[in-house]
Chains A and B, each alone.
Chain A
């Protein structure tokens, strides 16, 4: 039930912010009806689980995103340096990092975060590790990436 309410609130917010109608009764009524039908269909099709309405990561995930934005900025500068350097000092390699998050949403968030930080791309998700391709020796920092995963894992605990 909690999931249903969160989905309805999220859809209502999306509808209101994208349409910008706040005082047209007919349109608001139609919007409310379409939101309720959507949520009802999602419940009926049994797709309203931890994967489609990932409440398990809230609310810690919002702070994590802000931290992640800083990391993305730092990694961007490192890769731009290599791209513009007279002699790029690349040392690409494939390496594995452990996978601290336990839920599938957490694991996907962690893998996406690795890919979002320039200089590291998650290539393959395995049983309990991720195969990552890194651009330089400094960017292939396994402890730092594991720390990122542990931050996601901490978000998992917060919202349960």
Chain B
């Protein structure tokens, strides 16, 4: 009987590890892609979108991966809180810098040719 119970918990452990690995890999790919995008995209506003991938996909997926490794439920709850607060604060930060750039008259590249719009267009 105890052997069966031990086997059950070992199986759960294995499933948890597999799930964690999946989420860590997906999150890692998001973070790295975001970094590559920041380097490759042509101007300030397009780079913000690449940073957004790191902010949302990367951070949240890695937190979900950590959630499956949490030793006690109280740690899991704290990880959920971190995700919850990131969910609210990261768009505020992104909006703040985008809005600041727009307000000082910084104009984006536009259209498939990636050029600045002429006055009155």
Contact = CB atoms under 8 A, between A and B. Distances in A.
Interface of A: 17-18, 20, 65, 72-73, 76, 79-80, 82-84, 88-94, 111-113, 115-124, 131, 133, 135, 137
B105 interface: no
A93 to B, nearest CB: 5
B108 to A, nearest CB: 6
A88 B74 contact: no
B8 interface: no
Contacts of A124: 99, 102-103
A113 B74 CA distance: 29
**Chain A contact residues, majority secondary structure:** mixed
A119 B49 contact: yes
B74 A17 contact: yes
B32 to A, nearest CB: 9
A83 B50 contact: yes
A76 B111 contact: no
Contacts of B88: 112
Contacts of B69: none
B111 A133 contact: no
A121 B108 contact: no
Residue from A72, A89, A120 having most chain B Cβ neighbours under 10 A: A72
Given A65-B87, A92-B43, A121-B45, 9 more contacts: A18-B81, A80-B29, A80-B53, A83-B37, A90-B41, A90-B46, A94-B108, A113-B91, A121-B95
B14 interface: no
Given A72-B57, A84-B33, A118-B53, A112 B91 contact: yes
A76 B103 CA distance: 27
A72 B95 CA distance: 16
Contacts of B48: 121, 133
B7 interface: no
Contact of A79 (B45, B52, B91, B111): B52
B18 interface: no
Contacts of B108: 92-94, 133
A134 to B, nearest CB: 8
B98 A92 contact: no
Contacts of A80: 29-30, 33-34, 37, 53, 57
